[in-house]
Amino acid sequence: MATEKMTPEEEDQMIERQYQELLQGYLNSNHRKKVEIIERAFRFAKSAHSGVRRRSGEPYIIHPIAVAKIVSQEIGLGSTSICAALLHDVVEDTEYTVEDIEAQFGKKIAQIVDGLTKISGGIFGDKASVQAENFRRLLLTMAEDIRVILIKMADRLHNMRTLGSMRPNKQYKIAGETLYIYAPLAHRLGLFAIKTELEDLSFKYEHPEAYATIKQKIAESEEGRQQIFERFAAPVRLQLDKMGLDYEMKARVKSVYSIWNKMESKHIPFEQVYDLYAVRIIFKCPESEDEKKICFNIYSEITSLYKMHPDRLRDWVSTPKANGYRALHVTVMGPDGNWIEVQIRSERMDELDERGFAAHWKYKIGEGEEDTELGVWLKTIVDVLNNPEPNGIDLLESIKLNLFASEIIIFTPKGELITLPKNATVLDVAFTLHSELGTHCIAGKVNHKLVPLSHKLQSGDQVEVLTSASQTPQQAWMQFLVTAKGRSRLQAALKKDRRHIINKGEEIFNKFIADNNIELNNDIMNKILAEKKYLNKEELFFALGNGDTDLSEQAVETYKKGGILSRLLRNPFSFVRGNSSAGKEDVYDDSVEIDPKKTYLLTTKNGKNNYEIASCCHPIPGDDVVGFIDDNKHLIVHKLTCPTAMRLKSAFGNRLISTKWQTLNEKFLARISIEGIDRMGILEQITHAITTTLGINMRNLNISANEGVFECTLAVLVEDTNVVTTLCKELQQVKGVTKVARIND
């Protein structure tokens, strides 16, 4: 929107049009019409932000209006949330206070605005890694009023939609934390449409070329897909019409991000992603008690027409997901010989599935009612926060276990349902039910069979927890727990038993610091933790008090000097200098200035590199990469998809640099995986293709064969990803080779 060309009068008219669109959308909803307070909130916000512009050049008030539109029309909330959305940046960005908001608009709107103001930094800011309290505040505020996080979601969605006006390094930071935090949180809250858009927009800015390629391929294959869908749908429609249903049947294409994820995880090209779309049947049903019966009647008709996949029936009508998702999924063989997933749901289910808990709360907010599923989850979050980790990133990792995991449903002996993350154990069940059950758990009975407390559960298991009064909690149990609640409660129990050892260790530590004249601060503490490989101070103190470790006087100078950023995250991998993958150690060029506002070119001059390669992911030219500045002011290069980079993007955005490969006359190490049918001479053909046909220098090769099938991993020196692609294609031509892919560390 070229607002710079508008006169003030034209700009004001544009703002009014945007506001009227918001108002009209609200008036078309089934909320009680409280136009007067929305009007006042808009005028107040417009005045407060007067003269302020966004980076795109448009008046700042356009952003709050857009957020309010999302809140109202895409999430489905009412006047209180619309007002809070319009006012959400007023306290942070202007002279007005929360008290001013309360005086003008009442306590509830002021509380929500206050919650939004408090979480504008914290885990979403630059100091997240050392400020656990900010993340705790976000979650506790969310537990008090879910509208805070729903409006925050809308705020992030609009920021992502307008991310193009930001500098590249800011784009990476915002896209990274969106994928790491916001998209999974949207999924946990059932905001599926928003979750999908956040993922796609993040992917668009992190991997623009791959995004454009997949979008193009989706468009090119649309006509063929539509023909297959019509052939599949025609007999189904005949049956549904005979049933007298009022329904809609449509094909929904997978999101660009999910297609790319499948291509990456399966190491397959776009053309081999056969489940590009799912068929969705949405029917009208005036009586909610009839929904389940109609779902299964439709299922019966479809499976009489098409062969059903025996392991792909998902009944989320009888037992909804923990985030409220309800539907019946069945996968059948389509007319083209590929599996097609059919999602069967009522209109009410569809609204709940698209808007998640927001749809539940649309009618309940302000009336003192609590949605059962949401209430249970929020209570779990609050329970975890009673014993928080000392570091914000650690706390986030703990919460992530409950946010993002796939779910299973198990039953207690009394038939009660419990929703747990995938791979949950008997011990998780014990701690979920009660802390005392967890600390005294000795085993379990799963489907009436005795199992150890580490036994991983399957959906549908009936689980009984067995306890003993003499049992005490063990540190080793931590590896058996996947729920945040279980880990938090075990940690609390362990802390009680070892407090005196920790106190002893702290005395040893403080004496060491004093004797060596070390000025202790967060950076020094983190360097010591990284060097000793402990996650937090308490673990270090316990090890010192227990005699498991000591502090070396030889390391004093190291503690006083700058460390490496990754070690602050206690991820003790080492960095590879420059192209040391080629067999030599190069010198980092310290003379190069890094301007965070510009894209940094990765180069090698006079035998010196202006970057370091992270050994956690081994990027090579052609990979989408991002740079991070460590404490030594060196630039460390990671793949954008590297898990460590994901954590860094979400927590250390101020040290993030947009980077680009320059033409380099260097060799980089790449690892290749090969699978196939074993036969005489196949290894010779593989090595001939690599070294003779393509002239590629091979550094390492490991091959193993078992019962006629072989697996091979090899390390080669290449200039860029194009060479890797050529190599994979060449190896694919070798008779007996069935799969070739680059190994992504």
Distances (CA, A) of 613 to 77, 531, 628, 658, 743: 47, 21, 11, 15, 16
DSSP assigned state of 380: H
- CA angle centred on 736, ends 731 and 739, rounded to 5°: 55
**635-639 and 612-614 strand pairing:** parallel
CA 336 to chain centroid, in Å, comes to 34
Q: What element of type H or E holds 136?
A: helix 132-144
Distance CA 484, CA 481 (A): 8
The pair of structure tokens assigned to 372 is 């059962």
For residue 464, the cross-strand partners are 445
Sequence letter at residue 216: Q
Q: Which residues are catalytic?
A: 92-93
Helices (H), 243-290: 256-266
Coil, helix or strand at residue 516: coil
How many residues does the structure list for the chain?
745
Distance CA 454, CA 178 (A): 34
Distance CA 235, CA 302 (A): 9
For residue 742, the cross-strand partners are 672
Instruction: Compute the chain's Rg from CA coordinates.
Output: 29
Q: Who contacts 607 (Cβ-Cβ below 8 Å, separation ≥6)?
A: 586, 587
Q: Which residue has the tokens 């397959």?
A: 268
Coil, helix or strand at residue 274: coil
Distance CA 314, CA 578 (A): 49
